[in-house]
Structure 1
Amino acid sequence: MAEVSVAADDEAALPPGVPGTDLLSLHESIAGVLATQGDWRRAYHHLKSAFDLARAGSLRDTLTSSYNRRYLDQWLHGPAVEHRGPPGIAIALVDLDLFKKVNDTFGHLVGDRVLREVADLLQQGLPPEAFCARYGGEEFALVIPDVDAARAVRIADTARIRVARHPWRRIRQGLSVTISVGLAHESRAEPDHAAEPERQLRRADALLYMAKRAGRNKVAYRDKESSRTIPRSMNSADATDA
């Protein structure tokens, strides 16, 4: 069998920009050739690289390339939550408004494109330590650590506005997309305040339904006095109280 040329420092001379799945296969192929040549050290290196790529791929949503529910669950129950900074952590559940109507009117291929673009729009403007994950179906989660409540609300509402103002008509005439957001923030100001990610997710989910009931295309959150939505409800001079 012909020998393959591999860099002496254990890094294969791989072409730039190779998609992850192709890169995975390439590492596996090179590992197989090196193993037949008895070069077990470099074969192991490429097998490990293939494993790392496969693991990274298992934490990504195949449609939107955002993180998936598995990654979200691992992060929320991992050490990062226990050691988050004093300002606290915000979790926002985001749902595309009337998404079934998008699929029924324009077809599932357009619906898939909408999901991909919404995921990209949600990721824009997030702090470096924050991330977007597809929670399921047309629902996403934004996790924003080390942030106070006021900034978390601004980030969530900026995302809502970004989606509403996106030029959706360039995809299909008549297409418009908005999102509703339920934002739950937990502070670490009290030293004995334990992280309870499941409880925080349930709060975000309840607030998401509040945003839906208030007319959609809104962010619902809870301040010190009550639950509120932004922008203002049509039947309220200030905010919608739960």
Structure 2
Amino acid sequence: MTEVNGVSLPWGDAGLLRVHESIAEMLASRGDWRRAYEHLRIAFDLACAGSAAIPEQLRREVDRLRREQEQVREESLRDALTAVYNRRYLDRRLADLLSDARTPTAVALADIDLFKAVNDTFGHLVGDQVLRRVAALLREDLPANGFCARYGGEEFMLVLPGVSASAALCIAERARTRVAEHPWSAVCSGLAVTISVGIALDQGEGPRQLGEADRLLYAAKHGGRNRVAYREREAVRLIEYRP
């Protein structure tokens, strides 16, 4: 027997109760009160019943709850609009990667050029489509352990662990090219979208590397936009777009 909240339950029911409570807590943190209430109600019923479930029913319920718990956990780490990882996942994962000296990690900060003008000219619904499409284009062609996350607003970060400096630059340049050459007029007539990218190649302390990517992003902007900026020794270099 296991005691949960002062109620003695068989091991199976206690385990189910804890899983339901865990899912309810995650759903409530995301504002999904209806589904959170459903799981709390089931947890309450289990606590009141205090009896073992039929083994086969228990197994099916545990499997279902595990799948739903994993789905809820994954959803909590994704940006709702673009479906790429959110800032919560980025901060946690990036801290682990940049603290591991054995795995060189490049970070590329990409910003949609003149995004405010897109919203002002074409409307926020088109702006949302642009964000989703850019996110999808940035997710392409990433290394096995790489990922894309929404950094904030119209900024995205590509995290590229275990790749050489030249490979990281190629990945950033191909991403910039895909965005520039995408048929944006199919989304809205007259629409054109580009990104500027700052990529920090050196392994080092996390805040320092993120600061370097941010500085290089602004160098790409000041250099004319639609460019990738990186540092070679002490000099800032720009890769310019050539259609």
Alignment TM-score, normalising by the size of structure 2: 0.74
Give, in angstroms, the shift of residue 84 of structure 1: 6.0
Aligned equivalents of 1:140, 1:172: Cα separation in 2: 22
Which of 210, 227, 231 lines up with 1:218 in the alignment? 227
Aligned equivalents of 1:206, 1:70: Cα separation in 2: 22
Give, in angstroms, the shift of residue 55 of structure 1: 1.7
Aligned equivalents of 1:63, 1:163: Cα separation in 2: 18
Structure with higher Rg: it is 2
Q: Which moved more, 1:149-158 or 1:34-43?
A: 34-43
Question: 1:59 aligned to 2:73?
Answer: no
Give, in angstroms, the shift of residue 150 of structure 1: 1.2
Aligned equivalents of 2:101, 2:170: Cα separation in 1: 20
Q: Deviations over 1:150-203 (max 9, x none)?
A: 11111101100100000000011100000000000124xxxxxxx411110000
Which of 124, 128, 136 lines up with 1:112 in the alignment? 128
Contact 2:98 2:205 in 1 (8 A): no
Relative to 1, partners in 2 of residues 1:232 and 1:177: Cα closer, same or farther, differing over 3 Å? Answer: closer
Write 1 or 2 for the structure with the bigger share of helix: 2
Q: Deviations over 1:67-116 (max 9, x none)?
A: 001000000122x4444645x21100000000001001111000001000
Q: Deviations over 1:123-158 (max 9, x none)?
A: 101111100000000000000001111111111011
Alignment TM-score, normalising by the size of structure 1: 0.75
Aligned residue type for 1:110:
V
Question: 1:126 aligned to 2:142?
Answer: yes
Q: Which moved more, 1:34-43 or 1:213-222?
A: 34-43
Aligned equivalents of 1:179, 1:204: Cα separation in 2: 14
Q: Which runs of 5+ in 2 are unaligned?
A: 1-29
1:50 matched residue in structure 2: 68
Give, in angstroms, the shift of residue 232 of structure 1: 7.5
Contact 1:183 1:220 in 2 (8 A): yes
1:89 matched residue in structure 2: 105
List 4+ stretches of structure 1 deviating above 4 A.
33-38
The number of residue pairs the alignment matches comes to: 204
SS at match of 1:115: helix
1:4 matched residue in structure 2: none
Contact 2:99 2:205 in 1 (8 A): no
Give, in angstroms, the shift of residue 47 of structure 1: 3.7
* Backbone CA RMSD of aligned residues: 3.1
